[in-house]
Structure 1
């Protein structure tokens, strides 16, 4: 049976006030130094990148979520509610990894009540199968590279700039 659904790849990542150290240029003889506050404050990012299974003309759609701290079952259910609105209640086949919050009792009970959502699990140790991993790489090597922000909002703003950059290009998603 052909299912007219969105195939949505989902993943989470984290950012913190500790900079993502990348190669950079500096004048000869001057080693570049990153000065930052040793602070472990973290934010969680989640992204859902969808492709329509039956209508490729609809183009890819990217839904992004950012929050202080990390994700658990409750916060992931809130994100899934936003995804439901984002995809206007159309059928979604959500493809994600084996994170324990993805397959917890609470998550499975919530998903069982959703007629618009079907879950599929990625194989273990296969990040190359999830295109959202490339999104994180694109943001962390450009907008977040060597960023030593004073506040978590600085890092969040840079991540959102990266998402806007990716969304503005037809090639990147």
Structure 2
């Protein structure tokens, strides 16, 4: 299942809780959602929501300050550097206009094959 949500303004507890509610509506099995150390992900309101939905939802927090253990960081860097460059969208309309129709080129020596991620100690 792939789900995303575009929002305007500041990322707050209510925004993240709304996203999780949407996930729960779509899911037929338990959701394991991987999150980083953003303050919203650790907030009391989010912890309460997750506890109330513990049978269907679990947050898995990545360690802080360790992007090597977070493959999304490598993808984010690739997208920002190679696909968007300095022309990052600032609105919903801009996201649609700048979405690449083909995957961005990989960095030199990278492969799209599913290889195990090298884990480093932080």
Q: TM-score band (shorter)?
A: 0.5 to 0.7
1:108 CA displacement? 0.8
Give the distance between the partners of 1:109 and 1:141, measured in 2 at CA: 37
Aligned residue number for residue 132 of structure 1: 72
Decide which structure has greater strand share.
Answer: 1
| Unaligned runs of at least 5 residues, structure 1 | 1-60
Greater C-alpha radius of gyration: 1
The structure, 1 or 2, with the larger RCO (C-alpha pairs under 8 Å, 6+ apart) is 1
Find the partner of 1:78 among 8, 11, 18.
18
Aligned residue number for residue 68 of structure 1: 8
Decide which structure has greater helix share.
Answer: 2
Kindly indicate whether the alpha-carbon contact (under 8 Å) linking 1:66 and 1:156 is maintained by their aligned counterparts in 2. Answer: no
How many residues matched? Answer: 105
1:102 CA displacement? 0.6
Kindly indicate whether the alpha-carbon contact (under 8 Å) linking 1:143 and 1:158 is maintained by their aligned counterparts in 2. Answer: no
Match status 1:118 vs 2:61: no
RMSD: 2.8
In structure 2, relative to structure 1, the CA distance for the partners of 1:144 and 1:154 (3 Å cut) is farther
What SS does structure 2 have at the residue aligned with 1:79?
Answer: helix
Give the distance between the partners of 1:92 and 1:129, measured in 2 at CA: 20
Give the distance between the partners of 1:109 and 1:148, measured in 2 at CA: 34
TM-score after normalising by structure 2: 0.67
Give the distance between the partners of 1:122 and 1:97, measured in 2 at CA: 5
Give the distance between the partners of 2:40 and 2:7, measured in 1 at CA: 16
Find the partner of 2:95 among 156, 159, 167.
156
| Unaligned runs of at least 5 residues, structure 2 | 104-111, 115-122
